[in-house]
Copies of this chain bind each other. A is one copy, B any other.
Amino acid sequence: MTAEKVVSSRTRHAILGGLAHEAASGYEIRKFLSETTSHFWKEGYGQIYPTLERLVEEKLIEVASREAGGRERVRYRILPAGSVELRTWIRSPRFQLKSGRNELLLKLFFARRDDAAALLPQIQEYRVSMQKTAGIYSAFDLDADEIPDDSRSLIATTIDYSKAAARMQIEWCERTLDLLASLAKAD
């Protein structure tokens, strides 16, 4: 009774995508993802390492090199079957959206007028952090050499998204700050 565990996780595809780019260790994959997709996709080690082992078992990737001695480092490389799986996923008409969590909006939802003064600086902080984010994406250099020409314009759409999201949030902050200021003034 070796019941196969069903893996519905999308982590496998994020990893395959990363390895399609180049062979890497779990640590490097996470670094790559957090530098490129973190605005809409993040992975943690706790997810990456077990999934790598799983992908090896499934023969979608293989160990490319293994350095021992105290700290060990295992690099993985994608196999042809892995590339097929990646492309199948990209083209299959199923995808999942999971909205994030915004604690500040939750506070606003439960707040009363007399909380307005305390909320004001929190929204200012939010705006600052969004402005920082917007700056990062504006400075993003799509002409960088490592990006294959073939996918450049597709990647551009994800950056477009992040920029638009940041801008939208900044504008919301501004509208909301105005409102809170008027509430706070009217005590």
Contact = CB atoms under 8 A, between A and B. Distances in A.
B14 A106 contact: yes
Give the size category of A's interface with B. 35 or more
Contacts of A122: 93, 95
Contact of A95 (B13, B104, B116): B104
Say whether chain A's binding surface is mostly helix, strand, loop, or mixed: helix
A2 interface: no
A39 to B, nearest CB: 6
A40 B102 contact: yes
B89 A107 contact: yes
Contacts of A161: 105, 172
Contacts of A50: none
